[in-house]
Amino acid sequence: MTMTNEQTAVFGGGCFWCIEAVFERLQGVTSVRSGYMGGHIDKPTYRQVCGGDTGHVEVVEVKFDPSVITFRDLLDVFFTVHDPTQLNRQGNDAGEQYRSVIFYTSEEQREQAEAAIAALDAAKVWPEPVVTAVEPASKFYVAEDYHQSYYDNNRMQPYCQFVIDPKIKKFEKKFGERMRA
């Protein structure tokens, strides 16, 4: 069901499983899909994107109700659950496909993303500057079915336990009141 005021945000911050798991838990988020954006081939596969030569980034497409949660709120969550100072990597996931990026879908989103990055750098939240790119959204390609809701479907996998669980705990600690019941 699509709401008339529903908006779309697209974020890349390492493996899409990690940020998908967090955004799926937010009040006001109506859907989250893992996929690929920003590259130069049509209909990329996971194997192709992991090869690192498609230009695509692993992203999540977040549909949200701005009367419940704002784009700025989504930015706060995004910058909390990944390290935006690492260029083309998050932890052991290395390559351009894991880069930190916000693909904006409106001029307002671009302005808010750039302002958030400037504020984080000015506040020296991290010892290094934020390298998160802010780029216009392009065609979104939905990832293969087994990537969707990966964490919820594979919680016993070591990657989920050692990489995603700590991100969810960090999210819960800071944004617990914003979680779905």
List the pLDDT tens digit at each of the 181 positions of the chain: 455 689 999 999 999 999 999 999 999 999 999 999 999 999 999 999 998 889 999 999 999 999 999 999 999 999 999 999 999 888 888 889 999 999 999 999 999 999 999 999 999 999 999 999 999 999 999 999 999 999 999 999 998 899 989 888 888 888 877 777 6
52 in a domain, yes or no? yes
- Statement: the pTM of the whole predicted model exceeds 0.85: yes
2 in a domain, yes or no? no
180 in a domain, yes or no? no
Is position 15 annotated as part of the catalytic site? yes
DSSP 61-118: EEEE-TTTS-HHHHHHHHHHSS-TTSTTEETTEESGGG-EEEEESSHHHHHHHHHHHH
46 in a domain, yes or no? yes
Give the pLDDT confidence score for residue 90 in this predicted structure.
Answer: 86
Give the pLDDT confidence score for residue 114 in this predicted structure.
Answer: 98
181 in a domain, yes or no? no
From the list 15, 18, 50, 160, the catalytic residue is: 15
68 in a domain, yes or no? yes
169 in a domain, yes or no? yes
Give the pLDDT confidence score for residue 3 in this predicted structure.
Answer: 55
Which domain range does residue 131 map to?
7-175
Task: For residue 83, give the CATH number of its domain.
Answer: 3.30.1060.10
